[in-house]
Amino acid sequence: MNHRPLNEIAAEITKDWGSKPHPMAKQYVDAMASLRSIHDSYGADSAVAVVAGFLGVAGTWKGAKAKLIKEELRGILAMNESEIARRGADKTR
């Protein structure tokens, strides 16, 4: 794993966002809480789909911590883009 565990990031999001997160974002954070790596799966969903989904609905989470964590998650996706694409190509063969 070449990034901070996703479950640690999820715990930090939960702590910072408080008791009123966006309902859809909460579902993604709950899923991230059971993941360690961007290469893991949550049921039928890849960790990539979970992280991307969170980023897509987390617009109401604001502040310095939110900005840093969203950048971190985007970086995790970007760092693994080539491997993610390769895995997708392997599944279509």
What are 10-50's pLDDT values in tens digits? 999 999 998 788 999 999 999 999 999 999 999 999 999 99
Residue 45 has phi, psi (to 5 degrees) of: -95, 140
Secondary structure letter of residue 41 according to DSSP: E
- Residue 19 is predicted with a pLDDT of 79
Q: Which contiguous run of DSSP H or E holds residue 46?
A: strand 45-46
- Residue 1 is predicted with a pLDDT of 64
Q: What angle separates helix 23-32 from helix 47-57, to the nearest 10 degrees? A: 150
**Does residue 82 or residue 61 have the better pLDDT?**
61
**Confidence tier at 87 by pLDDT (50, 70, 90):** low
